[in-house]
Amino acid sequence: MKSEKLFELTSRYMPGGVSSPVRAYKPYPFFTVHAKGSRIYDVDGREYIDYCLAYGPLVLGHGNEEVKDVVREQLEKGWLYGTPHEKEIALAKKIITHYPSVEMVRFVNTGSEATMAGIRLARGFKERDKIVKIEGGFHGAHDGVLVKAGSGATTFGIPDSKGIPKDSVKNTLQVPFNDAAALTAMLEKNSGEVAAVIIEPVMGNVGPIPPQNNYLSDVREITKENDVLLIFDEVITGFRLALGGAQEFYGVDADLTILGKIVGGGFPIGMFGGKREIMELVAPSGAVYQAGTFSGNPVSITAGLKTIEIIEREEVPQRINKLGERMRAALSEILRDSGVEGYVSGVGSMFKVFFSPSGAEVRNYAEALKCDKDKYMRFFHKMLSSGIFLPPSQFETNFISFAHNDADIQRTIEAYKENLYAQ
């Protein structure tokens, strides 16, 4: 196997053989040679239907031709200016149009950078140090939010990373998801000291966990009542659940919004934005410092702009959300009929089978942790053998893209059926 040999080599030169932890799984991950549409191909000549989709950005699937064309045109004109350029205005306008709570934006290079700066801005605006995050919420791999973080940190059982000074996280408070009373209690206990609550409106990094009932509107109310900013981290949900992300989908707005992934059309990007009075505090117009060499680079901006145009024109969220509904309904039925203990979670184009005890619903991080991650990994390998690439972790979301067609979905459902029955 070429992948096995390559993994031996990368493991010599790179910790764990990978550039980001969750990509590593035993005995070795496959190495990709190319990817197109809904498919990804490995060095050993295998083809997979891809539901990992680079962990979310590829809402149009791999290698979209229209995006490729505009990127190629842009490359002819240069790929990094270090000056303002017109396309930044166009992308900013798109975001502002679809996210009414956003009046100004700052482009950065990753979701991590965007949450880091967004939190700094909230603290600067409120002149308070504490923030509240959700247990299992992942906002990137920087010090202040890497406590009880989801994603790779949970997969590898290191939710609290070494190397983070206690002082860096002493102002990070945590509450469980889907528990409005816990948030109220936390804010009341720390009255006048909390700058912001940062939350993924749909938890995406412990598997997709949607908000229940009125949870998000309750969070909005509670943050207002306690005079605390609300930061929606829509790095996953932005331009996926709806053009206006979870804010449009659930009809709840935020004071600051974080975007990433899809907004760069598969190229590195991040964005934080919000109300003018808050954003004007960002340097150089204000005293909250933030900067970046590659920020607003014309390649990411061009790819993002074209991607959003296609999402608008083709009504991508509506179409992929329907595929998601079909997938979740079919998988729930298979679980019921097979007697396998599990629960199908998700919303829109995101889905996941949780191997939860007695098939219980998963509503937060603590409940996600009770799921059988070893069983998941055995199942993951069976699906891989059936030509289906799911994310290699019980705690990562499966994504459907616009490139997935009915036949892909059908083949995937059949593979689930075969492999769940074999559990």
Between 240 and 335, name the residue whose CB sits nearer to ligand PLP: 240
Q: Contact between 111 and ligand PLP (CB under 6 A)?
A: yes
- For ligand PLP, the binding residues in 314-353 under the rule CB under 6 A are none
3-state secondary structure at position 62: strand
Stretch that binds ligand PLP, among 138-146, 162-170, 284-292, 322-330 (CB under 6 A): 138-146
Could you tell me which residues are beta bridge partners of residue 49?
A: 39, 388
**Nearest-approach distance from CB 376 to ligand PLP, in angstroms:** 19
Angle at which helices 373-385 and 406-421 cross, to 10°: 120
CB of 89 to ligand PLP, least distance (A): 23
Please report whether residue 235 would count as binding ligand PLP according to CB under 6 A: yes
Cβ proximity of 234 and 246 under 8 Å: yes
Question: Segment near ligand PLP (CB under 6 A), from 8-16, 75-83, 134-142, 221-229?
Answer: 134-142
| Contacts (CB under 6 A) with ligand PLP, residues 76-95 | none
Is residue 131 within 8 Å of 173, Cβ to Cβ?
yes
Least Å from the CB of residue 301 to ligand PLP:
16
User: Interaction with ligand PLP in 162-201: which residues (CB under 6 A)?
Assistant: 200
Work out how close the CB of 10 gets to ligand PLP at its nearest, in angstroms, rounded to a whole number. Answer: 20
Q: Give residues 41-70 in contact with ligand PLP (rule: CB under 6 A).
A: 55
Shortest Cβ distance from residue 268 to ligand PLP (Å)? 7
Helices within 314-359 (DSSP H only): 316-338
- Closest to ligand PLP by CB, 208 or 342: 208
Contacts of 352 (CB under 8 A, 6+ apart): 207, 208, 344, 345, 346, 396, 397, 398
Q: Does 236 bind ligand PLP (CB under 6 A)?
A: yes
Residue 112 is a binding residue for ligand PLP (CB under 6 A)? yes
Tell me the closest approach of the beta carbon of residue 258 to ligand PLP, in angstroms: 7
Q: Using the rule CB under 6 A, is 233 a contact of ligand PLP? A: yes
139 contributes a contact to ligand PLP by CB under 6 A: yes
40: DSSP letter = E
By the 10 Å C-beta count (0-12 exposed, 13-18 middle, 19+ buried), 35 is classed as buried
CB 389 within 8 A of CB 374: no
Segment near ligand PLP (CB under 6 A), from 109-117, 187-195, 325-333, 387-395?
A: 109-117
Encoded tokens for 301? 């901006």
User: Ramachandran region of residue 82, left (φ > 0), alpha (ψ -120 to 50) or beta?
Assistant: left
**Among residues 141 and 334, whose Cβ is nearest to ligand PLP?**
141
Residues near ligand PLP (CB under 6 A): 55, 110-112, 115, 138-140, 200, 204-205, 233, 235-236, 260, 270
